[in-house]
Amino acid sequence: TCSCAWHHNLTAAVCSFRAAKALCANPGSRHAIRSFRWRNSVPFQWQSQQLMELGLMEPGQWF
């Protein structure tokens, strides 16, 4: 997920499957959760081209 429009930086979250399943099953939070997918998120493809297209890496920059 790119968090802001003026500066490209990467934000990520590591979520517990057990916690997500419990939130979906809990009657108090079940109706508040539509999806666990974040706005503007795209699957990471493990290719440098994707990092350049998102503005997270410039040509010639390797880390």
* Structure confidence by residue, pLDDT tens digits, 11-26: 666 667 788 888 888 8
Q: How is the chain classified by DSSP, letter by letter?
A: -B--SSS--B------HHHHHHHHH-TTTTTT-S-SPPTT-----S-HHHHHHTTSS-TT---
* Residue type at position 24: C
Q: What is the number of alpha carbons within 13 Å of residue 12 lying toward its C-beta?
A: 5
Residue 31 has pLDDT above 80, yes or no: yes
Residue 42 has pLDDT above 60, yes or no: yes
**pTM higher than the cut 0.75:** no
Per-domain residue ranges for the chain? 1-58
Q: How high is the pLDDT of residue 6?
A: 57
